Structure 1
Amino acid sequence: MSNVDLQQLIALLDAHNELTRIPVPTDPLLEIAAITDRVCKSFGGGKALLFESPAGSPFPVATNLFGSPRRVCLALGIDHLDRLTERMTQLLDRIPSPDMPSLDRQIADLPEFSRFMPYFSPDPDPQLMAMEPPDLRLLPFLQSWPGDGSACGYPRYITLGHVFTRHPESGLQNCGMYGAQLRGATELALRWKAGSGAARHLEEHRRLGQPMPVAIALGGPPAATFSAMLPLPGELDEITFAGFLGLVALDTVPCRSVPLQVPAGCELVIEGYVHPGETVEEGPFGNHTGCYSPAAIASLMRITAISHRRNAIIPATVVGPPPMEDCWMAKAWERLLLAFLKRLIPGVHELCFPLEWVFHQSAIISLDNPSPAMVRETAARLWNSPWFSGSRLLIFVDAGVDTSSMTGVAWQAINNCYFTRDSFCDGSGKRQALDATGCRTPRQRIVVDSATVQRVAERWKEYGLP
């Protein structure tokens, strides 16, 4: 594994025939997104796209960089996504008694993890040059869908930005991926969920009556992009986790106008402040449901500086009905999460987020030696975890079932379930689970005769069959 930067990743994808360059002029308003959407839905996720001549900007745009399992693996320097499960399992096995409430501290205290803490440079990134004056309108951020931003007339969004904030007293940083809507030359609307790292930091700044410094970094090590989007346990540091993913501790550099550190090697860094209580309307925004998330109140960020590489490439993703690039990025989290679940919940064997379900925290989970009580207890424990608290549907199957086969899971469900007995909800009625393990009515399964299978294989050519 290794941590390359965005331009090195693009060169790597090009070398593996995983990149298409589009030299003709293309419009960041709808056209680039429409091309990307069509490619994402082609066989195997299509190729990564480099739009070399976006209208109104000198900076190229890269999309669909992580839009297939192979490209996710190339970005993270692995040969198969299951390597993520193996590495996370090896780390968690070093914790004698893992406990969800303190799991972030238990992981952070491991030397095998803490050795990937970032190196803090006192000097700014020499590859970055200041944009004078700063003007977001010169950057080719996308409008993906016709109704994006229609409530306030600002249709363009930053979609792959690593948003850095810090606690005003401890100084600990958070890195998350949040929606950022352009509002002219020097303003952004930032929307983050209640309880997120950025939201908690903003509340602390509000309590102290201080503006909150914010930095949005684009590009840099791909492992940092994945780490920013992952729902890591508690306060686990995202940049240290990025180093763990890439097996190389990241270098970080100071921003020009705010007291924050960002990874070295970024393409673009946008800096500014959010004043608690200063809000604007943001949205609507087209998302994975095939609909728009409604307009809502968001924090206003006032830009103080923009820095970029001289030959910067602006990464972007298009969010919409699956399959899309973010589905395959979520598959990396699926493989990491499996290691967490197997360590925390006895009996969990395998996990699958179907692409159509992945952003509803809904999954197919196989169990070793299931019983009806075990299924219900496992569902309750999952619903009580932050990773499945918003789950709409969990389907449980026996460990012998391939969780990645929707056809096989559907076959098990229709054969094994009496829905009045095996389907159950949580107390709110908003979360549902289905016991498709068949453990209530065990039956003799059909097993092919191995000697016959061997004989047929040996004589196959005699039968004249292809």
Structure 2
Amino acid sequence: MDRLIEWLKKEGGLRVIDEPLDVELEIPHVAYLEVKKGEASRPLLFTRPVWRAKGIEYDMPVLMNLYANQELTRKILGRHPDEVAVGIEELMKLKPPKGLKAKLQMLPKLLKLKNVFPKRLKFKGECQEIVIPKEEVDLDALPILKTWPEDGGRFITMGQVYTRSLDGTMQNLGMYRLQQYDKKRLGMHWQIHKDASHFFDQYRDAGKKMPVTVCLGGDPLYIWCGQAPMPHGMFELLLYGFIRGKNAQLVKSLSNDIYIPRDVDIVIEGSVDPAAMEVEGPFGDHTGYYTLPEPFPVMEVQTVTMKKNPVFPATVVGKPPLEDKYMGWATERIFLPMLKPMAPDLIDYNMPENGVFHNLILAKMEVHYKGHAQQFMHAFWGVGQMSFVKHAVFVGKEAPELTEYEALTRHILDRLDPEKILITQGIVDQLDHSSPQTLVGGKLGIDATGPKVPRAIEEHLSDQLLLEKAQALAPEVRALKQYMTDTANPITVIAIEKKRSAKATIDALEPLSRYIAVLVVVDTINNDLENPYMLLWRVVNNIDAQRDIFLQPFIAIDGTNKNSLDGYVRLWPGDTHCDEAVLERLREKRIIDLDETLIRKWGLLPFDLYGDKGMD
């Protein structure tokens, strides 16, 4: 890891923080604010982590924000993700050569493939220089972080979780939340759809304990590979070999038959008893909400090994933008060729980070026949991790670039037709909180591939005049702002102090249909109508298409928090908010720069701009 630190100083502008900071909230809050600086964001090395609650001073530094920005992500990969994608596309198009000349031309490509497959070594790795036996294992000795005030405890955020199938024929690398229960036990938050969970089912059915090895550190590319959506049964470290052009070198775990990279910093080995489950959480997650407590498997730690002078890597999850923005960017670009075989007329796609990736996908396609976009919607919803996508918008090849969000939004609104909106049902991510039940919920598909549509409103009113008319019909409306008023379908966003269902408010506003094309309803609490980035985040998180989208008398979207007024019976989770005292302490120490504008821009603390009572 020393070489990585030096490389990050040279290539990534590594910021070294020598001030003693607490692993509970302080270190995560610093990283949370750093990554919101966009391309100016830098990786962070905390050299003196402490755990004040237990009086522990660590000699193991914490490294955060490895994927700090797009340029650093490109450097970690060694090239632009699009270049990696070209190589994958060429590989997928390989055909058996005909004739000697064709065979000779293919030989260099075939020789490169020998570097893809991980190589198993017969000796121990650097990660096993220090061995801590079971009786001496103490997870408190690791600077594991607690990120959010309401988290159920400390959890490992960048653990590379290595598992293998019962018959030993398949190995998997995933990245899951790992709650520390005590000195020797970790929670395994692998979701029901993941390969590790499928392996777990095999061991459970056989009545056997499941071996698990968790690694921390090493080449940053291992971390990216851990979250890559590889097809079922394919070992994620194949990607490492393909991208690096050299084999991942693996050594055998000391207490099981799982092979791991030789150069990781820390290794936690153990087993999971399928008969023993324990409540995990709550934890703030990448959705920007707390996930609710739920039973998950538990890992009993057998041994811990590490390098001499290891570094503890970690990340922070919560409201966007965060480090996963850049990891997701690389994933999106690299996996484009793998989507094209099932959607051959797909030109490009984009998953905005404020859509929390699985909540919104934008896709550009070449349209050849009526219903082509709807065909693509069903194809997306039926394959791999794309099946978790809740909202998909398709545009034609003449549309602006998918990352030109303002121009693209105008293009979509000029082609938005209620007749070309598909609402259906399907599988949703286990972290989704808005659907009436877990794992299954509404899906929204918008076909914006056609020609422009007629203007949907008869008359445009100013925000103030439209607000007055809305309040006369629905007194709970507290604020109103219109966007894209020059398009065929202007967007009207209202904030309500919710005393009845949002659907009742929408119905009450029906007389305003001549002025409103698309109505979006949010709560006054924690929403700023002047902040479209966070409004999109809020709405795509908060809606179930079957319950919350209405197509008459105008298109309406209920983006409010749901409760009994809406017939919602699950527990609605809260936002991830920073601890105000911790922010102030960090500001006083001059570790962070913070003002009221940044607090509101990123929703760092609770607020109510429009209600009768403020929350400041």
**Any idea what the Cα deviations from partners look like across 1:70-94, whole Å, max 9, x if unmatched?**
111111111x232222122122222
- Whether 2:27 is the aligned partner of 1:32: answer yes
What is the CA-CA distance between 1:112 and the residue it aligns to? Answer: 5.5
> What is the SS of the residue equivalent to 1:234?
coil
Distance 1:397 1:362, change over 3 A: same
> What is the SS of the residue equivalent to 1:431?
strand
**Any idea what the Cα deviations from partners look like across 1:34-72, whole Å, max 9, x if unmatched?**
000110111325100000110132100011101211111
> What is the SS of the residue equivalent to 1:360?
coil
What is the CA-CA distance between 1:402 and the residue it aligns to? Answer: 0.6
Q: Which residue of 3, 15, 30 maps to 1:8?
A: 3
What is the CA-CA distance between 1:28 and the residue it aligns to? Answer: 0.5
What is the CA-CA distance between 1:201 and the residue it aligns to? Answer: 1.3
**Any idea what the Cα deviations from partners look like across 1:2-32, whole Å, max 9, x if unmatched?**
xxxx543332221124210111111110000
Q: Which moved more, 1:270-279 or 1:397-406?
A: 397-406
Q: Which has the higher contact order (CA 8 A, sep 6+)?
A: 1
Contact 2:266 2:305 survives alignment (8 Å)? yes
> What is the SS of the residue equivalent to 1:416?
coil
- Write the distance in 2 (CA, Å) between the matches of 1:75 and 1:31: 27
Q: Which residue of 253, 256, 259 maps to 1:258?
A: 256
Distance 1:45 1:273, change over 3 A: farther
- Whether 2:121 is the aligned partner of 1:142: answer no
The residue type paired with residue 39 of structure 1 is: E
- Write the distance in 2 (CA, Å) between the matches of 1:441 and 1:370: 20
1:281 corresponding residue in structure 2: 279
- Write the distance in 2 (CA, Å) between the matches of 1:114 and 1:295: 45
What is the CA-CA distance between 1:237 and the residue it aligns to? Answer: 1.3
- Write the distance in 1 (CA, Å) between the matches of 2:356 and 2:272: 31
Matches within 5 A, 1:339-358: 339-358=337-356
What is the CA-CA distance between 1:397 and the residue it aligns to? Answer: 1.2
2:213 corresponding residue in structure 1: 215
The residue type paired with residue 289 of structure 2 is: C
- Write the distance in 1 (CA, Å) between the matches of 2:445 and 2:95: 30
> What is the SS of the residue equivalent to 2:71?
helix
**Greater Rg over alpha carbons, structure:** 2
Distance 1:272 1:53, change over 3 A: same
TM-score (norm 1): 0.85
What is the CA-CA distance between 1:312 and the residue it aligns to? Answer: 0.5
Q: Which moved more, 1:21-30 or 1:171-180?
A: 171-180
- Write the distance in 2 (CA, Å) between the matches of 1:189 and 1:359: 25
Distance 1:393 1:274, change over 3 A: same
What is the CA-CA distance between 1:308 and the residue it aligns to? Answer: 1.2
Contact 1:18 1:71 survives alignment (8 Å)? no
**Any idea what the Cα deviations from partners look like across 1:298-355, whole Å, max 9, x if unmatched?**
1111111011111101100101100000121011110022111223312111111111
1:71 corresponding residue in structure 2: 72
What is the CA-CA distance between 1:126 and the residue it aligns to? Answer: 4.0
Contact 1:92 1:343 survives alignment (8 Å)? no
Aligned length in residues:
417
- Write the distance in 2 (CA, Å) between the matches of 1:198 and 1:129: 28
Distance 1:173 1:43, change over 3 A: closer
Matches within 5 A, 1:52-451: 52-55=47-50, 56-78=57-79, 80-94=80-94, 113=113, 115-127=115-127, 128-131=129-132, 133-149=136-152, 155-369=153-367, 371-400=369-398, 401-418=400-417, 420-427=418-425, 430-439=442-451
**Any idea what the Cα deviations from partners look like across 1:78-117, whole Å, max 9, x if unmatched?**
1x23222212212222269xxxxxxxxxxxxx87646411
**Any idea what the Cα deviations from partners look like across 1:200-250, whole Å, max 9, x if unmatched?**
111111222211111000112222211111110121111222211221111
What is the CA-CA distance between 1:290 and the residue it aligns to? Answer: 2.0
The residue type paired with residue 172 of structure 2 is: N
- Write the distance in 2 (CA, Å) between the matches of 1:237 and 1:126: 22
5+ residue gaps, structure 2 = 51-56, 97-109, 427-440, 455-616
Q: Which moved more, 1:284-293 or 1:310-319?
A: 284-293
**Any idea what the Cα deviations from partners look like across 1:156-209, whole Å, max 9, x if unmatched?**
111111111112223432111111001111111111111321111111112222
1:42 corresponding residue in structure 2: 37
What is the CA-CA distance between 1:389 and the residue it aligns to? Answer: 1.1
- Write the distance in 1 (CA, Å) between the matches of 2:190 and 2:132: 27
The residue type paired with residue 432 of structure 1 is: L
Distance 1:214 1:227, change over 3 A: same
- Write the distance in 1 (CA, Å) between the matches of 2:425 and 2:197: 28
> What is the SS of the residue equivalent to 2:352?
coil
The residue type paired with residue 365 of structure 1 is: A
State the identity as a percent: 28
- Write the distance in 2 (CA, Å) between the matches of 1:370 and 1:129: 61
TM-score (norm 2): 0.65
What is the CA-CA distance between 1:370 and the residue it aligns to? Answer: 5.2
Q: Which residue of 42, 51, 68 maps to 2:46?
A: 51
Distance 1:81 1:336, change over 3 A: closer
Contact 2:367 2:449 survives alignment (8 Å)? no
Contact 1:242 1:250 survives alignment (8 Å)? yes
> What is the SS of the residue equivalent to 2:419?
helix
The residue type paired with residue 53 of structure 1 is: R
- Write the distance in 2 (CA, Å) between the matches of 1:299 and 1:431: 30
- Write the distance in 1 (CA, Å) between the matches of 2:299 and 2:75: 34
Q: Which moved more, 1:330-339 or 1:312-321?
A: 330-339
1:457 corresponding residue in structure 2: none
Contact 1:370 1:437 survives alignment (8 Å)? no
- Write the distance in 1 (CA, Å) between the matches of 2:453 and 2:319: 38
The residue type paired with residue 135 of structure 1 is: D
Contact 1:113 1:244 survives alignment (8 Å)? yes
Distance 1:162 1:171, change over 3 A: same
- Write the distance in 1 (CA, Å) between the matches of 2:425 and 2:58: 52
